[in-house]
């Protein structure tokens, strides 16, 4: 059914925003993490989205224009920006000069990102409700 196309796109949008939220929460939770299995401190992660084609019975013109979203990958921030040195000689991971490599995560940036993600998720839900209302209204024709 054609009315399922917005459902699919909204569902993918919700999944994408949820994935972004997962990554932001991971960044916030690891704001003080100095040890990782790969060695070194935790590095800030960023989600990258890309478009994806929708399989539907649309007209050929609309078929290529309408795109859904998918998570393209979760990438680490650039190496020179991902770590900051903090002077803390008492820390077990401090080097000989007393500096500790900690993740360069700005909690304010993460919180703002989180709010944006939240709003985008809510927008997807609203779009879902609106498209469902359209479909239900269609069924009221002729009543």
Partner 1 sequence: MSDISIRNNALQSSTAAGKIKDGSRGGNAEFGTILKSKLNEINQLQLDADQAIANVQLGNSGSIHEAVVALEKADLSFRTMMQVRNKIIEAYQEIMRMQV
Looking at beta carbons only, is 57 or 80 nearer to partner 1?
Answer: 57
Structure tokens at 118: 């939240």
**Total residues at interface with partner 1 (CB under 8 A):** 16
Please report how close the Cβ of residue 56 comes to partner 1 at its closest, in angstroms: 12
Looking at beta carbons only, is 8 or 35 nearer to partner 1?
Answer: 8
Looking at beta carbons only, is 63 or 87 nearer to partner 1?
Answer: 63
Q: How far apart are CA 71 and CA 74, in angstroms?
A: 8
Beta bridge partners, 85, equal 101
Residues 80-109 close enough to bind partner 1 by CB under 8 A = none
- Which of 49, 58, 99, 128 binds partner 1 (CB under 8 A)? It is 128
Say if residue 21 is exposed, middle or buried (CB neighbours under 10 Å; 0-12, 13-18, 19+): middle
Residues 25-64 close enough to bind partner 1 by CB under 8 A = 57
Q: Does 74 bind partner 1 (CB under 8 A)?
A: no
DSSP 76-137: EPPHHHHEEEEE-TTSTT--TTSEEEEE---HHHHHHHHHHHHHHHHHHHHHHHHHHHHHHH
Q: Does 18 bind partner 1 (CB under 8 A)?
A: yes
Tell me the Ramachandran region of residue 4: left when phi exceeds 0, alpha when psi lies from -120 to 50, beta otherwise.
alpha
Q: Does 70 bind partner 1 (CB under 8 A)?
A: no
Site residues (vs partner 1, CB under 8 A): 1, 3-4, 7-8, 10-11, 14-15, 18, 57, 128, 132, 135-136, 139
């Amino acid at each position: 059914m054609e009315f399922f196309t917005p459902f699919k796109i909204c569902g993918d949008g919700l999944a994408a925003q949820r994935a972004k939220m997962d990554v932001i929460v991971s960044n916030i939770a690891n704001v003080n993490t100095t040890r990782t299995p790969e060695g070194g401190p935790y590095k800030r992660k960023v989600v990258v989205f890309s478009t994806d084609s929708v399989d539907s019975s649309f007209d050929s013109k609309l078929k290529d224009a309408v795109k859904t979203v998918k998570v393209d990958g979760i990438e680490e921030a650039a190496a020179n920006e991902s770590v900051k040195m903090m002077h803390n000689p008492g820390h077990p991971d401090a080097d000989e000069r007393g500096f500790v490599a900690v993740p360069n995560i700005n909690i304010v940036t993460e919180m703002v990102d989180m709010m944006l993600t939240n709003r985008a998720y809510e927008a997807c839900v609203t779009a879902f409700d609106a498209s469902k209302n359209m479909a239900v209204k269609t069924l009221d024709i002729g009543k």
